[in-house]
A and B are shown apart, each in its own frame.
Chain A
Amino acid sequence: MRRGISVAALVGVLALTATACGGDSDGGAGDGSKAASDPSSVSGTITWWDTSDATNEAPTFKKLVADFEKKYPKIKVNYVNVPFDQAQQKFKTAASSNQGAPDVLRSDVGWTAGFAQLGYLKDLTGTPALDKTDDFLEGPLKNAAYQGKTYGVPQVTDTLGLLYNKELFRKAGIDKPPTNWKEVKEAAEKIKDKTGTAGIGLNPDSYYSLPFLYGENSDMVDVEKKKITISDAASRKGIETAVDLVKSGAAPKPAGTDGYNNLKTDFKNGKLAMLIDGPWATKEIFGGEAYKAKDNLGIAAVPAGSTGTAGAPVGGHNLVVYAGTKNFDASYLFAKFMTEAAQQETASTTIGVLPTRKSAYTKAVLSDPVRDAYYRALDKAHPRPAIPQGGDLFTDWLQHYTKILTLKEDPKAGLDATAKAWKSALLKDYAIQE
């Protein structure tokens, strides 16, 4: 396609001119021996693409970068903030043309395996970048691995939880948050009766469908058995639970476009009693009139399905090192420094992100009720399938999940169509589980 190629060429040329000044070339094999034995002698310039929110989060990370430069005065870090929604494509374009890719990238956990499979990332197993691995939480570390090798250093983690409006719960006479979808439905009905407010907000986005699948002990795919499990009976049961919430009126029918934003707006203004969401949404929610008193926001683990298990996906970000970097040693040192417990604690207490190291969950971090609640919710979090197609599975599923949840498509038809689309394009060697 002409447009795509010329855009790619243009981006490549621009990026080339922008970052033509690479770092000192050393350690071509990337074993990082210099960084391990004599870190203070490592010098050069590296580029870091940070995908964090430019207004709320980036200043903190910039400060950490300055701390790094203070500790290693011979290394200069070229900080670039790249909008999250563009970073995946931008990195792919730069990496595949071998021009202008950053030395270190903050990669979504869902992208990491895909980048690794395409050969864009350096395997970090055994390098100085991965320091004290047993200190990392299990879920985030699993999400950084692909085929037994670790390609990323977990930087922040997150998961979904059940957010609820305590005041509305009190008015409806409910004293504790629901723990399974059946209780959610009952609570929603009670709240509707007593207060006239809508019950639970279900984001029509495929990522938010995972708790329903995990609740039935199912998943999108079974990687070990090479099976697509999204259309099997257990998955269908989970999705039907979600549809039932909408059909029964416990959840308002979401809009097909901007449905998520509408739900968030409703929730923060007290027009919705419950919402399934991650810690990233809390900042916006605290800006709403219903949460002027911060303790009105309750956070619980996601509700369980009919099997009694509750599970939410592990999200978050890894720091990955570009395989074509000119300066492995400096990149390793940088990835290591940024993911150390002290830096994670700083990031957590200033911007509220969740650390990936056990030792970073200090008193200061856990004193915040939101972080504490999500930390406890992490117990029930579920790593996502570590396959290169992991991120792309959501794209096909999104189209059908939106239609299913807005009651425009029958769950079975939508799930079957999703399985078929995956099989034909992404997972050709997988079997479809009936």
Chain B
Amino acid sequence: MTTAVSETGSPPEGQVRRPGLLTRARRSFDTHWYAWAMVLPVVVVLTVLVGYPLGRGIYLSFTDANEANIGRTIGVNHIPSTYQFVGLDNYWKVLSGQEGHFYSRLTWTVVWTASCVFLHYTIGLGLALLLNRKMRFRSLYRVLLILPWAVPAFVATFSWRLIFNEKYGVLNAFLAKLGAGPVDWLGDETLQKLSAVAVNVWLGVPFMMVAILGGLQSIPAELHEAAEMDGATPWQRFRHVTLPGLRPVSGTVILLGVIWTFNMFQVIYLLIGQGASSESEILVTYSYRLAFQGVRDYAGSATYGILILSLLLVFAVFYRRMLSRQESVR
């Protein structure tokens, strides 16, 4: 739908044409000015709470500011500002690998995000398909399966930590019954990562399930019936009716899932502990560590923050473009 749009004139009948941006803005202002007035406080508050910190974060990432050299006057003590503008130095240090941790963390963050979202989606899809059938106690199952999502992530994470405990955990007690030795789930690097993925999958599947279930129910039953009449096998129906019908929902939830998982702070930070887990840290927890451990490294942490934001922006833009391309192919 990339036809040229004229500034004035009503669209011809039968064809949906959108008026120009300015016109639309003016028209919407004329009819909805009161709405704009209502939104204004929110816009102001958001600018203060999001816009300003973001701007300041970007600025700090170009300096070498930390807790010790940022100027301040605290009662009787006056400390002058001694931090300097260093341009792209911070980014260069991080991206050239001098700072040492970026690429290994990025790799693990990507692996973590990909595996979590893949499992979220596939398990969620499977459960949604099951729950979409007519059966007894369907609503009961739905309530039970949504439960993990209702538990606050930090509560769930701490419970899982107890389950994974090497000595007193339920999981190892169960393994001992089966005759297997105790496993230090949260001690070994690989197991740590596996455990974190498991917990996050447990937390994230319900949301996917509910979202996909909604999508399934919006697929007209006639499509399935028609396909059945044409002699399509169940697999073919799934492949050619269900999946395409789910596309709009899937596109959105996968995008959301990627952003959430990429920044999933609690699971990593609370499950694996805050000190002994440098390899299992993702970018966000590392950035937190820079900002809140020791002499706070404002510049370094801002640099990481901006890099994370850029990565996600780039991903979102490409992902959206890929989706719309798929749409237009159809």
Contact = CB atoms under 8 A, between A and B. Distances in A.
- Asked if chains A and B come from one complex, the reply is yes
A256 B279 CA distance: 13
Contacts of A37: none
Interface string A391-427: 1100100110011001010000000000000000110
A258 B68 CA distance: 33
Interface string B276-301: 11100000100110111111100001
Interface in A1-24: 1-6, 9
A297 to B, nearest CB: 21
Interface in A49-96: 89, 92, 95-96
Contacts of B72: 96, 98, 119
B167 interface: yes
A256 B76 CA distance: 45
Interface in A113-145: 114, 117-120, 122
Interface in B67-108: 67-68, 70, 72-79
A403 B276 contact: yes
B307 to A, nearest CB: 10
B184 interface: yes
A147 interface: no
Interface in A347-384: none
B288 A1 contact: yes
Contact of A1 (B50, B295, B301): B301
A2 B186 contact: no
A250 interface: no
Nearest to B189: A408
Contact of A402 (B79, B275, B302): B275
B54 interface: yes
A180 interface: no
Contacts of A262: 165-168
Interface residues of B, number: 51
Contacts, number: 136
B57 A2 contact: yes
Contact of A395 (B49, B168, B293): B293
B295 A114 contact: yes
Interface in B14-56: 49-50, 53-54, 56
A118 B165 CA distance: 39
Interface in A234-279: 255-259, 262, 265-266
Contact of B296 (A92, A122, A255): A92
Contacts of B291: 1, 4
Given A118-B68, A122-B77, A256-B187, 9 more contacts: A4-B291, A5-B53, A29-B76, A30-B75, A96-B296, A98-B72, A256-B186, A257-B192, A265-B168
Interface of A: 1-6, 9, 28-30, 89, 92, 95-96, 98, 114, 117-120, 122, 204, 255-259, 262, 265-266, 322-325, 388-389, 391-392, 395, 398-399, 402-403, 406, 408, 425-426
28 contacts: A1-B57, A1-B288, A1-B291, A2-B57, A2-B309, A5-B53, A30-B76, A96-B67, A98-B74, A119-B77, A119-B79, A120-B77, A122-B76, A255-B184, A255-B186, A256-B276, A257-B187, A257-B192, A258-B165, A262-B167, A323-B75, A389-B295, A395-B293, A398-B276, A399-B275, A399-B276, A399-B278, A406-B187
Which 8 pairs between the two chains have the least Cβ-Cβ distance? A256-B187, A1-B305, A324-B75, A257-B186, A392-B294, A255-B166, A402-B276, A119-B77
